[in-house]
Amino acid sequence: MAAAKGAKKARKRAAALKYDPKKDKAPRLVAKGEGLLAERILALAKEAGIPIKEDAPLVEALLRVELEREIPPELYEAVAAVLAWAWRLEGKV
């Protein structure tokens, strides 16, 4: 899960990824949105205990990906860094 916050008047943006290395070749975009939808995505992630990483450039790129699609290769490195961060938080690394 990645989130972006800007200036007070900027709309909140969020994107959520799902990755099962046993099934998927790459992480998939499962949710994305701005404004109220982004706030709902972030609230659901918090309720579920999913780590939230703020990364505005990554969120901008993810908002251009179609829902349920694997992320494009040019985002692999940035998404891998977020996944590694989340796995370290959960003690998986």
**pLDDT on residue 4:** 61
pLDDT tens readout for residues 4-52: 655 455 789 999 999 998 999 999 999 999 999 999 999 999 999 999 9
Instruction: Provide the whole-model pTM.
Output: 0.81
Mean pLDDT along residues 78-92: 88
> What average pLDDT does this structure show over 71-93?
90
55 or 91: which carries more pLDDT confidence?
55
pLDDT above 70 for 87: yes
**Long-range contacts of the stretch 70-79 (C-beta < 8 A, 24+):** 70/24, 70/25, 70/26, 70/27, 70/28, 71/17, 71/26, 71/27, 71/28, 71/29, 73/26, 76/26, 79/17, 79/27
Write down the CATH superfamily of domain 2-89: secretion proteins EscU (3.40.1690.10)
Ordered by start, the domain boundaries in the chain are: 2-89
